[in-house]
Amino acid sequence: MTAARHDAADAGILAVRDLRILFPSRDGRDTVKAIDGMDFEVKVGETFGVIGESGSGKTTLGRALVSLLRPTYGQILHDGTDPATLGSRAFRQHRRDYQIIFQDPNAALNPRMTIIDSVVEPLEILREGDAASRRRRGIEMLERVGLAAEAADRYPHQLSGGQKQRVNIARVLTLRPKVIVCDEVVAALDVSIRGDVLNLFADLQREFGLTYVFITHDISVVSHISDRIAVTYLGKLMELGPAEDVVERPLHPYTRALLSSEPIPLPSHLRVDRRIILEGEIPSPVSPPSGCRFRTRCPSVQPRCAEDVPAWREVRPGHLVACHFATAEGPPADNQQARSAS
């Protein structure tokens, strides 16, 4: 390895530099800014949680991380290499290390292929072994993720959602990837089996030394398994820090609102925290608000928020936030609270 490459590896197995992804809007006149400037790095072996509402650009981010989408501006470095600079053959070889598991476990499986045919497809593309050995390895992998060998010759429509998601996991694992992007992987599953699948992800991470990028709208999912959490809003990062810190002591008013929206299994008079209701919908990514893009729904909004774009600042060690008024103590107080106190 060259010195330059080594430095890059230190920087993280995934590095996102000033990422912008723009789409033409449906009528072609406007530009949808799905991702409008993001910078972060994912370290080897960690679980990097990404949370946000629908429309915050998190699925676009996931697809871009595994090169299914090309950045309009900026770069995504895979272990120091920009996959956009590789030739098509080298690129196909390279991208095997960066895999994605999708939200809809059913749509990710070809309905006309048996389970085993789907699972061994990556091996077939790699031209590894003969058909019999590939099949053996595929079945081992199916058993590893908790499926019986009988499932191998079934078709996707004969399995449940949870089983199908296990098939998707097994299929990706046959490639022995370095990074797996998990895009809302448990959102489509019954609550009763979410825990099982999440535990499976945790076990596999230890066993195979995986790095995860866990994308979800469900903060309870991400807080349990993440090492660090990034909070996205309308194509930008609002907050990024160690998972415990972000969940226990958030810095951004948006994060605080997201956390308070999580259901707590207590009767309302026993709850300590007041629930913060965000008003309205997430604004259109065609014309995001000026200044801070959360200001239209922020309970702590100030005149300055409409004028200046908040800087991306490190307020606590390793804990960054994009809010003018956040301090190491936490997010700014609500305007309403301030009013009632005075």
Residues that bind other proteins (CB under 8 A): 63, 66-68, 92-93, 95-96, 98-100, 102, 104, 107-114, 118, 121-122, 125-126, 132, 135, 139, 143, 146-153, 155, 157-159, 163, 168, 171, 175
Task: For the CB of residue 140, give the shortest distance to other proteins in the complex, in Å.
Answer: 11
Please, which residue, 28 or 265, has the CB nearer to other proteins? Answer: 28
CA distance 124 to 114: 14
Alpha-carbon separation of residue 113 from 31, 107, 163 (angstroms):
38, 12, 16
Distance separating alpha carbons of residues 135 and 116, to the nearest angstrom: 7
Element containing residue 22 per DSSP (H, E): strand 14-24
150 versus 281: smaller Cβ distance to other proteins? 150
Residue nearer to other proteins on the CB measure, 151 or 251: 151
For other proteins, the closer of residues 16 and 180 by Cβ is 180
Which lies closer to other proteins via its Cβ, residue 96 or residue 316?
96
What are the tokens at 337? 């609270």
Would strands 179-183 and 31-42 be described as parallel, antiparallel, or unpaired?
A: unpaired
What's the min distance (Å) between Cβ of 101 and other proteins? 9
By C-beta, is 110 or 287 nearer to other proteins? 110
d(CA 164, CA 152): 11
Least distance from other proteins to the Cβ atom of residue 149, Å: 5
Give the nearer residue to other proteins in terms of CB position, either 86 or 315. 86
Q: Which is nearer to other proteins, 50 or 151 (CB)?
A: 151
**Helix 161-173 vs helix 131-144: crossing angle, to nearest 10:** 130
- What are the helix (H) ranges across the chain? 3-11, 58-65, 88-94, 115-119, 121-126, 131-144, 161-173, 191-208, 219-225, 243-248, 253-260, 335-341
Measured N-to-C along each axis, helices 161-173 and 191-208 cross at an angle, to the nearest 10 degrees, of: 10
- 52 DSSP 8-state letter: -
In the complex, what is the shortest distance from the CB of residue 86 to other proteins, in angstroms, rounded to a whole number?
A: 12
- Least distance in Å: CB of 109 to other proteins? 6
> What is the token pair recorded at 17?
């530099």
Alpha-carbon gap, residue 298 to 68, rounded angstroms: 33
| Distance between start and end Cα atoms, the chain | 62
Nearer to other proteins, 158 or 287 (CB): 158
Q: How far is the CB of 102 from other proteins (least distance, A)?
A: 5
| Structural contact between residues 283 and 271, judged by C-beta atoms closer than 8 angstroms | no
Nearest approach, Cβ of residue 290 and other proteins (Å):
34
- 3-state SS, residue 242: strand
Least Å distance, CB 230 to other proteins, is 22
Question: DSSP secondary structure string, 97-138?
Answer: GEEEE-S-TTTTS-TTS-HHHHHTHHHHHHT-S-HHHHHHHH
CB of 17 to other proteins, least distance (A): 22
